[in-house]
A and B are shown apart, each in its own frame.
Chain A
Amino acid sequence: MNKTMQRVTAAVFCLFIGGLGLLHILMPDRTFSPVENRNLAQFPTFSWTSLKDGTYTAAIETYLEDQFPFRDKWMGLKTGYEYLLGRREFNNVYLCGDTLISKVYDDSRAEKNLQFIAQLVEKTDLPVYLGLIPTAAEIWRDKLPEGAPSFDQVAYIEAAKDTGAIYVDMLGALSAHSDESIFYRTDHHWTSLGAYYGYTALMDALGVEPEPQGEGETVSEDFYGTLYSTSGVHWLQPDSIERYISSDGITVEDVYNEETHGLYVDSFLSEKDKYSSFMGGNNPLYIIRNPNAATDKTLLVVRDSYSDSLAPFLTQYYSEIHLLDLRYYRTSVADYAEGNNIDEIFVCYSVENFIRDTDAVFLGQ
């Protein structure tokens, strides 16, 4: 190698490590990463104890990593490199063509959580409806990479029929429309269309003719969901978010924050976490009231976040709906139903969440 190329090589190396190091110092620190949805580490404060036990230097390392220049871009580059090497699984997310699908794997809680539902059925005199929502990993199983391990959700839903709860056939309703956009491509939730089919499943179980889905209104066309963040696959087209139900005349009481708003919180549409524009994100308890509903019945939904986009459809039938999230509102479901003039209980979870839920114990209490 001649002198020139030696100089070039040395310059490339020194400029790269020196340049990025310098940029790191010059660029302002960020406090929050929307893509990772967490606070980033800041430069630690010095103390002799933390120096002695090694936590000080460890904290500096975390700081240097968290604040590294163009952090999100590097992440996408790494995923692209792995993709070229033939990998289709990134942080437990499968990349299937233009769609990201969350990997569902067995959890030791799966069986126990079904028993809690059986206990609820025993304990309350109210009708208990059970809707376990199969996720994209099941409905779109044929899209998964060949031989990719995936929890058998069909068998699990089948087993759930033995709990004594009234079966809501989410599996049938979604499978019948598997060629439609019923799940987001970059998020693990169902779309509003998927939620509509979920609503028809509940209506079928009640013996009620479901309302037609109606005209959808697109409220966002640049939604990058949770799977986009987890996988690091940053080259897919964003999702769009639709609404089918108007919020007119409907109030949503956010009991925890002592606020009242409509079915949708539009401010979330300008943030990363756009799915939270349904209802306003994860909160312990929402009470939805619709004076113009078809009945004056009250429904208790024990639920995960899939119900945020399902609830608008339910308002057509129920005049009052309680959305209860057991992770934040740890209470006996039977007692809650008794104390709040509930007519029907609807336990509605995605299989993925339900098999690893740690708070399902409150269902049985």
Chain B
Amino acid sequence: MVFSGLPFLFFYLVVTLLIYKLTPLKLRNLVLLIASLFFYGWGEPVYIVIMFLSIAVDYTHGMLVERWRANDRKARMAVASSVFLNLLILVTFKYYDFLVGSLNAITGWSIPLLGVSMPIGISFYTFQTMSYTIDVYRKDAPVQRNIVTFGTFVTLFPQLIAGPIIQYKSVADQLQCRREDLEKFVSGIQRFCVGLAKKVLLANAVGKLWDVFLATDTAQLTVLGGWLGLAAYAFQIYFDFSGYSDMAIGLGRMFGFEFIENFNYPYISRSVVEFWKRWHISLTNWFREYVYFPLGGNRVSKPKWIRNILIVWLLTGIWHGAGWNFLLWGLYYALWMLAERLFLGKWLEKLPAALRHIYTLAVVLVGWGLFAIEDMGQLGSYLAVCFGGGSLVDAFTLYQLWSYLPLLVILAFAATPVSGKLFRKLPERVQAVATPVLVLASLILCTASLVDASYNPFLYFRF
């Protein structure tokens, strides 16, 4: 099930909230656990097994770490075993076919592929459960002896399938005891509606523009069209992903949880380093805490530090998808990170802010090209057009530009903190009245869009 769908909004959420709020405090985690399992099993009922497996594996490993606390070697073994099993699940479902397919292509062997569909959200929840045993081992969080509470952490539906990636230590206390009141509930509603509108009204709409240019034969593509397409994709992925995070955070609050922020207006960054402090924050944090720091971070010799950066960014790349282009995308960012830290950063500081914005956006847009175009041949010719390998502009590009201009202006506006600042400058009373009005407006428009998306006229009479 996805948040931005009619079944979730009008049935699942209604029933879950109703039962949850009517249940005594003590049993609420159990309600959440059952509701989350139902949520997960809805799309692919068979994969509910993975959920149970995940809960069982990490619950036991947490207990083992605790029991072997006195014997560090054994405790480390338990952590290693937990990490291994989580990665095993991840690799099997997400990377096996890619790895074997690549191996077959190189060697000419024909090792059979699994051909199974990837369980939704597997990249997110395997990372979350891995954090648990590590946090327990590091004494960042106490071991969880209650399997219902632990199961609630593993399956928690608001962030189960698209993050933010919650580290166990950040919710350990909330799992035991959390404040639930009207103020938090309402702020959750607001946040959820903002996220829903970002996803449904903005991301989906501009996604159509990207589809147009992606489908355009690169021989017909123009320079402006190429950049317009990349900009459309940049907006689509940002509003899609950050919208989903907003919905997760909002839903979390409705159930009393407080999750970490995942995005902080990334497109206003003035360097690539800054961009990654503002983009998918929970993933960057995860890699920093559980990979980069353990490798020594930057408190090592320069060659080792370069190695660490490369490892983290190649992993970040491949985490996003099992494909060569994602690896390339990770490498691309590793190189920009190294360049900025080594010399580029000093030069940038001397530049006017506007130029630094343009530089950052250009790097990020080309990055999205690597990310979005999986076919290497098409990727090459698409980027070649962007950098002058085509005519500048044509009537088709202008038509698309004019058709989408108002939307693009709104998107650009919404990607900066300005709108939020303006809203908070309004008199308190106006804000108070505007809130329910905006909530209702976004619900109405999103419902219309969601119904429209399922609108499927059968036009045999088109003939």
Q: Which residues of A contact B (CB under 8 A)?
A: 1-3, 5-10, 12-14, 16-18, 20-21, 24, 35-38, 51-52, 54, 57, 60-62, 64-66, 68, 71, 74-75, 77-79, 81-82, 85-89, 91, 145-149, 188, 226, 229-230, 232, 273, 275-276, 281-282, 304-305, 327, 353
Contact = CB atoms under 8 A, between A and B. Distances in A.
A1 B458 contact: no
Contact of A36 (B185, B398, B406, B457): B457
B447 interface: yes
Contacts of B431: 1
A230 B399 contact: no
A54 B435 contact: no
Given A12-B439, A21-B10, A66 B458 contact: no
Interface string B433-463: 1011001100111011101101111111111
Contacts of A51: 45
Contacts of A188: 462
B399 A148 contact: yes
9 contacts: A1-B428, A6-B182, A37-B457, A61-B5, A86-B404, A147-B398, A188-B462, A304-B463, A327-B463
B353 interface: no
A24 B10 CA distance: 9
A91 to B, nearest CB: 8
Interface in B404-452: 404-407, 410, 428, 431-433, 435-436, 439-440, 443-445, 447-449, 451-452
B439 A13 contact: yes
B44 A54 contact: yes
Contacts, number: 168
A276 B6 CA distance: 35
Contacts of A81: 201, 445, 448-449
A146 B398 CA distance: 9
A351 to B, nearest CB: 13
* Chain B, interface SS category: helix
B452 A232 contact: yes
A82 B399 contact: no
Given A147-B398, A149-B399, A8 B436 contact: yes
Contacts of A21: 10-11, 14
Contacts of A145: 399, 402-403
Contacts of B395: 147
B161 to A, nearest CB: 15
Contacts of B18: 18
Interface of B: 5-7, 9-11, 13-14, 17-18, 42-46, 182-183, 185-186, 189-190, 193, 201, 205, 395-396, 398-399, 402-407, 410, 428, 431-433, 435-436, 439-440, 443-445, 447-449, 451-452, 454-463
B230 to A, nearest CB: 21
Contact of B455 (A3, A7, A75): A75
Among A12, A37, A62, A79, the one with the most B-chain Cβ atoms within 10 Å of its Cβ is: A12
B445 to A, nearest CB: 6
A60 B10 CA distance: 13
Contacts of B451: 65, 68, 71, 74-75, 78
Contact of B448 (A13, A61, A78, A276): A78
Most buried by A among B432, B440, B451: B451
Contact of A5 (B7, B432, B447): B432
A147 B18 CA distance: 52
Given A17-B9, A65-B6, A81-B448, A5 B433 contact: yes
Contacts of B44: 54
Contacts of A54: 43-46
Contacts of A353: 463
Nearest to B396: A149
B407 A57 contact: no
Given A61-B7, A85-B407, A86-B403, A230 B459 contact: yes
A10 B189 contact: yes
Given A1-B432, A57-B42, A89 B403 contact: yes
A55 B244 CA distance: 25
Contacts of B407: 85-86
Contact of B402 (A16, A66, A86): A86
Given A230-B459, A273-B461, A79 B452 contact: yes
B43 A232 contact: no
B186 A10 contact: yes
A54 B396 CA distance: 41
A134 B201 CA distance: 36
A17 B459 contact: no
Contacts of A52: 45-46
B182 A38 contact: no
A56 B193 CA distance: 29
Contact of A146 (B13, B17, B399): B399
B219 to A, nearest CB: 15
Contact of B458 (A8, A37, A60, A87): A37
Given A9-B186, A12-B443, A78-B448, 11 more contacts: A1-B183, A1-B428, A9-B439, A37-B461, A57-B43, A60-B7, A64-B10, A81-B448, A145-B399, A146-B402, A282-B463
Contacts of B182: 3, 6-7, 10
A282 B433 CA distance: 56
B427 to A, nearest CB: 12
A16 B443 contact: yes
Contacts of A147: 395-396, 398-399, 402
A35 B461 CA distance: 12
B189 A37 contact: no
- Interface core residue of A17, A64, A353 (most chain B CB under 10 Å): A17
B11 to A, nearest CB: 5
A46 to B, nearest CB: 12
B435 A36 contact: no
A89 B6 CA distance: 25
A74 B447 contact: yes
B7 A64 contact: yes
B13 A17 contact: yes
A14 B7 CA distance: 15
B458 A13 contact: no
B201, B431, B452 — which one has the most chain A CB atoms within 10 A of its CB?
B452
* 8 A-B pairs with the lowest CB-CB distances in the bound complex, closest first: A147-B399, A38-B458, A65-B454, A74-B451, A78-B452, A21-B10, A147-B395, A5-B432
B462 A13 contact: no
A275 B461 CA distance: 10
A230 B457 contact: yes
Nearest to B46: A52
Given A9-B435, A87-B403, A226 B459 contact: yes
Contacts of A82: 205
Residue in B182, B395, B457 whose Cβ sees the most chain A Cβ within 10 Å? B457
